[in-house]
Amino acid sequence: MRRRIPKDESKDRHPKRTRGARALDDTARWESEILLHLEGKDPSLLDKETSKVYRKISGTGARLRGPVPLPVRALPEGTATHESDRVHRRLIFIYFPTEQTVSLLEKLALSGSVQTSISVEEITAGNHP
C-alpha cells in the first residue's frame, strides 16, 4: 500500500516543472521592441514558417504579440506573373527581448521563399504592452 504524502510535504519533495521560458529578472531584458516582418508568396508556407518562429522565440522569455496578418500587397505589373502577383505578410511584435532572443534572431533560418526584415524600436514610457 502506498503512503500518502501530506500537501505541505509534497511541495518540498516534488518541485513543479515548468515548460517553456523561465522567469527572468529585469536586468536580463532589453528596453526595446523588435518588429519581425515575414513575407512570402505562398500563404500556407508563410503561416508554417511564422508558427515555427513564434514557438522558437516564445521559449526565450520575451513577450510576444502576434502574428498579425498585414494586408496583401500586389507586385508591380512588370514583375508579376499571373500565379504570384500577391505578397502575403505577417508581423510579430517582440517586447523586452533577452540575449537569447537576439542570438536566435541572428541565426534564424527559414525557407527560401520567405523573406524577413527586422526593425528595433526603443520603448518609451507610454508604449509598454
Region 95-108 average pLDDT: 88
Domains of the chain with CATH codes: 34-74+83-124 (3.30.70.600)
Number of H helices, E strands in the chain: 3, 4
Neighbours of 101 (CB within 10 A): 23
Give the pLDDT confidence score for residue 65 in this predicted structure: 92
Higher pLDDT, 6 or 127: 6
Summarised one tens digit per residue, pLDDT across range 69-100 is: 998 888 776 655 565 678 999 999 998 888 89
What's the grid cell of residue 11? 511541495
Give the pLDDT confidence score for residue 76 in this predicted structure: 72
Residue 5 has pLDDT above 90, yes or no: no
Q: What is the mean pLDDT of the chain?
A: 77
Alpha-carbon distance of 20 to 50, in angstroms, equals: 18
Alpha-carbon distance of 21 to 59, in angstroms, equals: 5
Answer left, alpha or beta for residue 61, where phi above 0 means left and psi between -120 and 50 means alpha. left
What's the grid cell of residue 116? 524577413
Alpha-carbon distance of 95 to 58, in angstroms, equals: 11
Q: What is the CA radius of gyration of the chain?
A: 21
Give the pLDDT confidence score for residue 55 in this predicted structure: 92
- Select the highest-mean-pLDDT range: 18-32, 41-55, 64-78, 99-113: 41-55
pLDDT band of residue 10 (cuts 50, 70, 90) is very low
Give the pLDDT confidence score for residue 21 in this predicted structure: 46
Express as a percent the part of the chain with pLDDT over 90: 26
